[in-house]
Amino acid sequence: MKLQFFYRKFNVLTCRQASQMVSQSLDRELGPIERWRLYVHLRLCQACRNFGNQMAFLRKAARKHPLFSDHDD
Ligand SMILES: [Zn+2]
């Protein structure tokens, strides 16, 4: 079975959608369906898991760094 076909059939996010959702999830709360679809994709896709870890790491690092911090507290 082709991966593209599998993704469509089971309504799995594409890597592009998943990476967008990962970025969005850092800025806003995802809905339960979005979270589920992202979860399924991340279970299937090592590349996006890595991307998600990097994003979370960068975001955490940036928060601590005054240069990249959004708020001036
Ligand atoms: Zn992916």
User: Residue 41 Cα, ligand 1 centroid: separation in angstroms?
Assistant: 6
Residue 58: per-residue pLDDT:
83
Residue 70: per-residue pLDDT:
60
Question: pTM for the full model?
Answer: 0.68
Per residue in 49-60, pLDDT (tens digit) is 999 999 888 888
Q: What is the mean pLDDT of the chain?
A: 83
CA angle 27, 32, 34 (to 5 degrees): 65
User: Residue 70 Cα, ligand 1 centroid: separation in angstroms?
Assistant: 29
State how far Cα 6 lies from the chain centre: 20
Report the distance separating Cα 44 and Cα 52, nearest Å: 13
Confidence label for 71 from pLDDT (cuts 50, 70 and 90): low
Per the structure block, which two tokens stand in for 67? 């240069």
Per residue in 1-27, pLDDT (tens digit) is 577 776 677 778 999 999 999 989 888
